[in-house]
Amino acid sequence: MANTEEITGPVSQEDIEAAEKLKNEANEYFKKQDYNGAIELYTKAIEKNPNNAVFYANRSISNLRLENFGYALTDASKAIELDKAYTKAYYRRAAAHMSLGKYKLALKDFEYVTKVRPNDQDAKLKYNECNKIVKKIAFEKAISVDNMDMNIANSINLDAMTIEDDYNGPALEDGKVTLKFATDLMEHYRQQKKLHKKYAYKILIDVKAYLQTQPSLVDIKVADNQKFTVCGDIHGQYYDLLNIFALNGLPSETNPYLFNGDFVDRGSFSVECIFTLFSFKLLYPDHFFMSRGNHETIDMNRMYGFRGEVTAKYTSPMADLFTEVYNWLPLAHCINNRVLVMHGGLFSRDDVTLDDIRNVERNKQPPEEGIMCELLWSDPQPMLGRSPSKRGVGCQFGPDVTNAFLQRNNLDYIIRSHEVKNEGYELAHDGKCITVFSAPNYCDTMANLGAFITMNGKDLKPNFTTYEAVPHPYVKPMAYANSLFSILCQS
């Protein structure tokens, strides 16, 4: 729900009481993790009484939970405008800034709280933690993995890594992924065991080398009688990934897949997900496809757990190598010249063509605007035209934008992911814009179904399979996330 501009002024006692009641109802929805329901009620409370900073701060944290960082930022700023001494609002705004990679702006909010509350030890702790992050990022930039002269993959000495005698896990055969390796790896991970670092590094080096040969827009040909499967976000939910393969069959040359970004972060089995997917990519390079999502980026990985998980399970240099690999993931795929698949959505410009996507120089962290950014971040909206993004990045696009893009590029429809849907999928824009989300009960809290799409090459008609979450070992989502960010987003 969009945040509207409220006109402040005198409010009757009756409206104040009604607003307080709505806020209390909203708090109950929030406790049940129904964040959309909570936002709706906080919005109604604001309509009754637009002068209460708490309502905005509460709506801000609800939007943070839904990754609506733009809305969360606006609400936190409004709460601060109404009550400059409201500490929690500064923390909300800091969390929104951190989500958007604006760490220095987050630090300013913490600094302000420490100045107005010099004896507040909690504020001091948060300021110090954020300051550490800012300094660490400055240091990382100085030796940056974005520095094109630096190549982590070339600096890895595989020959110096020995396989210990007691290692009894999956092994590459002559340095190659085989079907036996892939299936052994899945079972190994199911038992919560670790792949040897030598094999892990070899997979990353080989995947990077392959991805460097690929265009930013990959064309996929599917034969008339062949099945093709598109999956949405996985977000580190490894046991649900195994369930997809149980329901739909393992990837193979006769059972091709496209995974549409956000393989990692939030879920705490992201390492297991990404190495399983990369193994199939190496095994079936022409029948297994992977698009970059907005979470295959350094800022998201730093905040939402993947970088922490790789560092905990392996090393910090491996986390840097992942960043290098992710920079080469394709940004979109086109099936039989008729269906375009990208993680986020369409564009703030009317004149974008498939060739424009093909010509994007993708080997970098996504910019804050333009084609690459919007492919990873944009969302559809029901109303015509375009709106600023609820996420604070990319844009929101209406059915007219979708239709014009499809006509210009001779396409039938688009598939995108990027948003949790209760049924695991959603048809928007008269069925021309399909969202698919494959992480059921997202973050163990959302109670949504997961879904994947199957189609055949002849008519490309989308068929939807939905499924519930399966049990997984007791490791909480965000277990490896930045500790300061986790505190801000949970409190």
Q: Write out the catalytic residue numbers.
A: 295
In this structure, are residues 242 and 474 in contact, taking their beta carbons and an 8 Å threshold?
no
Q: Beta strand pairing status for 395-397 and 386-388?
A: antiparallel
d(CA 97, CA 92): 9
Edge-first strand order for the sheet with 395-397 is: 379-380, 395-397, 386-388
Count CB atoms within 10 A of the CB of residue 423.
14
Q: What are phi and psi of 418, to 5 degrees?
A: 80, -20
H-type alpha helices, 212-269: 238-248
- Is the CA virtual torsion 408, 409, 411, 415 positive or negative? negative
d(CA 417, CA 426): 10
Single-letter amino acid, residue 366:
P
Burial 183-209 (b: 16+ CB within 10 A, else e): ebbbebbeeeeebbbbbbbbbbbbbbe
> Residue 484: is it exposed, middle or buried by C-beta count within 10 angstroms (0-12/13-18/19+)?
buried
Report how far Cα 165 is from the mean position of its chain's Cα atoms. Answer: 38
In this structure, are residues 305 and 480 in contact, taking their beta carbons and an 8 Å threshold?
yes
In this structure, are residues 283 and 317 in contact, taking their beta carbons and an 8 Å threshold?
no
218 contacts: CB under 8 Å, gap ≥ 6: 289, 330, 332, 333, 334
Q: Hey, what's the torsion of the CAs at 417, 419, 425, 427, to 10 degrees?
A: -80
Count CB atoms within 10 A of the CB of residue 27.
14
**Quick one: DSSP state of residue 117?**
-
> Residue 146: is it exposed, middle or buried by C-beta count within 10 angstroms (0-12/13-18/19+)?
middle
Placement of tokens 């919560």 in the chain: 192
In this structure, are residues 126 and 110 in contact, taking their beta carbons and an 8 Å threshold?
yes
